[in-house]
């Protein structure tokens, strides 16, 4: 299958192929069928072995500007003019587990980036060659399967009466006793947002007949990302964690609620079901070490901003003006400081004793009080950067 592998690599491109390999993803479904039947590719369904893989991929590789739409089952991104469906309804250790949730055998093909090989259901090739639809009664969403039949008929596939009856019986076997169960069955992985179709009253008093009536009166709509507020805080990282239903720890401080996103502290407006309240000390550890670049002159330390402001080792420092704080930084962010290249600089190691030392807990770069506990030794990197000047 060297030809098909080359075709897959050419379509994805080296960069995307290597990203999917890095996170040990699977591609499965229609894209694989299209590769082997020389059909037009519409989108690419990507599956993951665990939640951390899709979360890290979204955080490190595909930032918010790639997002197109989001459902409760998948995140759609546009990457180099390719539509990628990142499936998170479940996580899979092998391709056979993915096939178990598929509806038609003609889609049961996959490429495993961990092993870099194609994997197929035993009748995948035969049923695509015959252009027949064979239904898998164990599929998770038979209503969607019924809606997909027409698409396959337009592609030249045929379906037997037996398979149609199997789909109908699978739908009949569904136990839909709540609006949540209904929207789960109707909402696809491809942008259909059914949350806005039904009235709020159905959440409390669900009636399938009323739901069907409302469904007749409205159409599926796309919930595109540009029309969606990043929610609780405007934070992309938090939005991803909420979408993937992560457990999110939050703490309360001065009658407000906060979480930690990466190195940032973010205020949140709404506490959701997957939020877990904890003590602030579980998220922020005090005392906290921060760093400050100052001017060193005759073994004394002065502010670059205000040459009359002096820092003393092992003593407290408080700004002259209560409305403007002392600027500090994490150690790894010092290189971006305005004064980092100055030959007369010194880096002070500073102690922040409590959250009350910050003007605003969401801005940990400015404090109203600190204690200087020492001068940080200059690294070889610091010396080489000055020599290069």
| Segment 351-370, tens digit of pLDDT | 999 999 998 999 889 999 99
385/381 Cα distance (integer angstroms)? 6
What is the predicted pLDDT for the residue at 242? 87
Residues 10-31: what's their mean pLDDT? 97
Pairing of strands 288-297, 248-253: unpaired
Tell how far CA 212 is from the center of its chain: 33
152/166 Cα distance (integer angstroms)? 17
Could you give the C-alpha distances from 122 to 107, 108, 109, in angstroms and in order? 12, 9, 10
The model's pLDDT over 303-358, given as tens digits with 9 standing for 90+, comes to 999 999 999 999 999 999 877 889 999 999 999 999 999 999 999 999 999 999 99
Residues 16-20: what's their mean pLDDT? 97
For CATH 3.30.460.10, the residue range(s) in the chain are 2-174
Cβ contact 46:22 at 8 Å: no
Identify the weakest region by mean pLDDT among 17-21, 224-228, 272-276.
224-228
What is the predicted pLDDT for the residue at 223? 45
77/58 Cα distance (integer angstroms)? 10
319/308 Cα distance (integer angstroms)? 12
CATH superfamily of 2-174: Beta Polymerase, domain 2 (3.30.460.10)
Could you give the C-alpha distances from 356 to 148, 169, 253, in angstroms and in order? 58, 63, 10
Three-point CA angle 32, 34, 37, nearest 5°: 110
- Bridge partners for 372 per DSSP: 350
- Bridge partners for 268 per DSSP: 257
| DSSP 8-class letter at 375 | E
Look at residue 381 and tell me whether its pLDDT is greater than 90. no
The model's pLDDT over 135-181, given as tens digits with 9 standing for 90+, comes to 999 998 999 999 899 999 999 999 999 999 999 999 999 999 998 88
Average pLDDT, the chain: 88
91/51 Cα distance (integer angstroms)? 7
What is the predicted pLDDT for the residue at 376? 93
Residues 74-94: what's their mean pLDDT? 93
Pairing of strands 158-159, 132-133: parallel
Look at residue 272 and tell me whether its pLDDT is greater than 80. yes
What is the predicted pLDDT for the residue at 184? 84
- Bridge partners for 300 per DSSP: 297
- Give the largest Cα separation in the chain, rounded: 92
At residue 43, the 3 state secondary structure works out as coil
pTM for the whole thing? Answer: 0.77
Look at residue 224 and tell me whether its pLDDT is greater than 60. no
Look at residue 277 and tell me whether its pLDDT is greater than 60. yes
| DSSP 8-class letter at 105 | G
Nearest Cα to Cα of residue 111 among 120, 100, 101: 120
Nearest Cα to Cα of residue 72 among 277, 272, 223, 248: 223
Cβ contact 242:224 at 8 Å: no
What is the predicted pLDDT for the residue at 222? 43
């Amino acid at each position: 299958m060297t030809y098909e592998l080359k075709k897959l690599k050419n379509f994805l491109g080296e960069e995307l192929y290597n990203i999917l390999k890095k996170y040990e993803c699977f591609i499965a479904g229609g894209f694989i069928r299209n590769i082997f039947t020389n059909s037009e590719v519409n989108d690419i369904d990507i599956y993951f072995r665990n939640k951390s893989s899709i979360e890290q991929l979204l955080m490190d590789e595909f930032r918010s500007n790639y997002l197109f739409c989001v459902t409760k089952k998948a995140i759609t991104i546009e990457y180099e003019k390719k539509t990628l469906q990142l499936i998170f309804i479940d996580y899979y250790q092998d391709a056979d587990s993915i096939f178990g949730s598929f509806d038609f055998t003609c889609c049961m093909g996959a490429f495993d980036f961990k092993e870099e090989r194609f994997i197929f259901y035993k009748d995948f090739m035969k049923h695509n060659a015959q252009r027949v639809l064979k239904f898998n009664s164990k599929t998770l969403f038979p209503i969607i399967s019924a809606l997909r039949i027409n698409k396959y008929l337009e592609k030249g596939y045929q379906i037997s009466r037996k398979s149609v009856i199997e789909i109908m019986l699978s739908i009949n076997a569904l136990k839909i006793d709540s609006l949540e169960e209904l929207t789960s069955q109707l909402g696809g992985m491809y942008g259909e947002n059914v949350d806005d179709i039904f009235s709020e009253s159905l959440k409390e008093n669900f009636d399938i007949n009323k739901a069907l009536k409302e469904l007749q009166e409205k159409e599926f709509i796309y919930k595109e990302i540009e029309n969606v507020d990043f929610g609780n805080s405007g934070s992309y990282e938090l939005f991803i964690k909420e979408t993937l239903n992560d457990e999110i720890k939050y703490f309360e401080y001065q009658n407000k609620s906060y979480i930690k996103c990466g190195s940032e502290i973010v205020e949140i407006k709404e506490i959701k079901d997957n939020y877990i309240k904890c003590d602030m000390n579980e998220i922020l550890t005090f005392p906290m070490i921060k760093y400050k670049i100052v001017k060193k002159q005759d073994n004394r330390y002065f502010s670059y901003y205000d040459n009359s402001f002096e820092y003393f080792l092992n003593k407290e420092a408080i700004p002259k003006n209560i409305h403007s704080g002392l600027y500090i930084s994490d150690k790894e962010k010092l290189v971006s400081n305005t004064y980092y290249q100055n030959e007369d600089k010194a880096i002070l190691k500073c102690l922040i004793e409590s959250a009350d030392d910050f003007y605003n807990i969401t801005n940990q770069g400015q404090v109203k009080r600190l204690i200087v506990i020492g001068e940080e030794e200059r690294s070889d990197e610091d010396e080489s950067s000055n020599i290069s000047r």
